[in-house]
Amino acid sequence: MSKAEKQIKSSEIIKNHVGFSLGAALIPLPGADLLAVSGVQLSMLRQLAKLYNVNSRI
């Protein structure tokens, strides 16, 4: 995969997870939104690490 293709794919990953984070932030229970957004962010980091072949221990 070329550098340009990786940049396009990484932008898609980030845009998707921003939407998920916004949705998770609407959870009305105190603290629940923090857990949901953290899960979304971890998922995003894992996908980006896989895309760029970076070993992550997350």
The single-letter code of the amino acid at 36 is A
- Please report, for residues 19, 39, 46, 53, 54, the alpha-carbon distance to residue 50 in angstroms, rounded to integers and kept in the order given: 20, 17, 6, 5, 6
Number of domains the chain contains: 1
Q: What is the mean pLDDT of residues 23-42?
A: 87
State pTM to two decimals: 0.82
Residue 11 lies in a domain: yes
Residue 56 lies in a domain: no
Residue 24 lies in a domain: yes
Residue 57 lies in a domain: no
Full domain range(s) for residue 33: 3-51
pLDDT beyond 70 at 24: yes
Of the candidates 51, 40, 36, 38, the one whose C-alpha atom is nearest the C-alpha of residue 18 is 40
